[in-house]
C-alpha cells in the first residue's frame, strides 16, 4: 500500500445479507486518492456512495479487499482500535448536521476534544480557532435553533476539523441547504483543502459540486463507472500546462 495515497482501496467488495438475498453494495472497487485532494463520489441512489464513504471512515468493514487510509491498513483493525484511529484521523460531516440542541455552538465543537488529553484552556483555544476558520467566531454562544441551516453546517464542519484530522469525510454536506448556503459550504470546503491541505472525500448528488473538486469518482450499482477531473481539476491542469 502506497503511503502517498491518502486513501487506497484495493479490490474492495461489500456484501450485505438480507434474508436469503445478497446485496453487493460495492463490487471489486479499486480507488487511489492522493493526499491533499478534494474529491467527490457521485452516482444515483443505491450506487454504493455512502458504503464507500463508511469504509474510508472505518464505520463499516469490507467483505473482501483491502482498505488503507493515511498509509495505515484498517481492514483488519479491531473495533476498539478503529474507534481510536477514527478519533485521530477522521473528521465527519453529515447532511443533517447532528448538532446537540441543548449545547451551544462552542460546546458542540468541543465534544470531540473531550476524548483527548487536552486541558480546558487548550480545548478552548482549539474550539475558538475552528469556529474562526468557519466564520462563526461571533456565534459561539448560540444554540443550534438560533442559527440558520448554513450556519449549523459550519458548526458541524468546525466540529469535524477541531481535532485536526487527516481526512474530512462529508456525506451530502449540502443536501439540506438552499442554493446560496450550499455554494458557501462548498467554498468553505475548498478553503479547508487549500489552506490546511486537508484531504476531503465528499459524497454528493449536487451537480454544482463538480465545479469545486479536483476529481469525480462515479459509482453505478456498486461498480466504479468512471473517474474524471472536476472543473477545478481541469482548471488546475490547464494552469499547470499553460
| The predicted structure's pLDDT at residue 60 | 86
Cell matching residue 46: 443505491
Q: Is 149 exposed, middle or buried (0-12, 13-18, 19+ CB in 10 A)?
A: middle
Instruction: Give the residue numbers spanning the domain of 167.
Output: 5-241
Under the banding of pLDDT at 50, 70 and 90, the label for residue 94 is: confident
Query: What's the rounded mean pLDDT across residues 99-105?
Result: 93
| The predicted structure's pLDDT at residue 241 | 40
Q: 12: part of which helix (H) or strand (E)?
A: strand 5-18
If one counts the domains in the chain, the total is 1
Q: Is 71 exposed, middle or buried (0-12, 13-18, 19+ CB in 10 A)?
A: middle
Q: 240: part of which helix (H) or strand (E)?
A: helix 231-241
DSSP secondary structure of 39-92: EEEE-STTSSHHHHHHHHTTSS--SEEEEEETTEE-TT--HHHHHHHHHHHEEE
> What is the C-alpha end-to-end distance of the chain, expressed in Å?
33
Q: Measured between alpha carbons, how far is 148 from 171 in angstroms, rounded to an integer? A: 19
With a cut of 50, say whether residue 237 has pLDDT above it: no
| CATH number of 106's domain | 3.40.50.300
| The predicted structure's pLDDT at residue 103 | 94
Under the banding of pLDDT at 50, 70 and 90, the label for residue 233 is: low
| The predicted structure's pLDDT at residue 85 | 84
- Dihedral sign, CA of 98, 100, 104, 107? negative
With a cut of 60, say whether residue 84 has pLDDT above it: yes
pLDDT > 90: percent of the chain: 27
Q: Which residues are CB-contacts of 38 (< 8 A; sequence separation ≥ 6)? A: 189, 190, 193, 199, 200, 202, 212, 213, 214, 232
With a cut of 50, say whether residue 240 has pLDDT above it: no
- Dihedral sign, CA of 203, 205, 206, 212? positive
The residue behind cell 484498517 is 74
Q: pLDDT tens, 201-218?
A: 999 888 888 888 999 999
Under the banding of pLDDT at 50, 70 and 90, the label for residue 131 is: very high
- Dihedral sign, CA of 38, 67, 1, 74? positive
Query: What's the rounded mean pLDDT across residues 65-69?
Result: 90
Q: pLDDT tens, 133-175?
A: 888 889 899 999 999 888 998 899 899 888 888 899 998 888 8
With a cut of 80, say whether residue 238 has pLDDT above it: no
Backbone angles phi, psi at 77, to 5 degrees: -65, 140
Q: 110: part of which helix (H) or strand (E)?
A: helix 105-110
Amino acid at each position: 500500500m502506497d503511503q502517498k495515497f491518502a486513501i487506497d482501496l484495493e479490490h474492495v467488495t461489500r456484501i450485505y445479507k438480507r434474508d436469503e438475498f445478497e446485496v453487493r453494495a460495492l463490487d471489486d472497487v479499486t480507488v487511489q486518492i492522493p493526499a491533499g485532494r478534494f474529491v467527490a463520489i457521485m452516482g444515483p441512489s443505491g450506487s454504493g456512495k455512502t458504503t464507500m464513504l463508511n469504509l474510508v471512515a472505518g464505520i463499516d468493514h469490507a467483505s473482501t479487499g483491502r482498505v488503507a487510509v493515511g498509509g495505515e491498513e484498517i481492514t483488519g483493525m479491531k473495533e476498539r482500535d478503529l474507534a481510536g484511529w477514527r478519533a485521530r484521523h477522521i473528521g465527519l460531516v453529515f447532511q443533517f448536521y447532528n448538532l446537540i440542541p441543548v449545547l451551544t455552538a462552542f460546546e458542540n465543537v468541543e465534544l470531540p476534544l473531550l476524548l483527548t488529553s487536552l486541558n480546558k484552556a487548550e480545548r478552548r483555544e482549539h474550539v475558538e480557532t475552528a469556529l474562526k476558520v468557519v466564520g462563526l467566531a461571533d456565534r459561539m454562544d448560540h444554540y443550534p435553533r438560533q442559527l440558520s441551516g448554513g450556519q449549523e453546517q459550519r458548526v458541524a464542519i468546525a466540529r469535524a476539523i477541531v481535532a485536526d484530522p487527516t481526512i474530512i469525510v462529508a456525506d451530502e454536506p449540502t443536501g439540506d441547504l438552499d442554493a446560496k448556503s450550499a455554494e458557501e459550504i462548498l467554498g468553505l470546503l475548498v478553503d479547508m483543502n487549500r489552506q490546511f491541505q486537508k484531504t476531503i472525500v465528499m459524497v454528493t448528488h449536487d451537480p454544482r459540486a463538480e465545479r469545486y473538486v479536483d476529481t469525480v469518482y462515479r459509482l453505478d450499482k456498486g461498480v466504479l463507472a468512471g473517474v474524471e477531473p472536476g472543473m477545478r481539476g481541469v482548471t488546475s491542469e490547464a494552469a499547470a500546462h499553460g
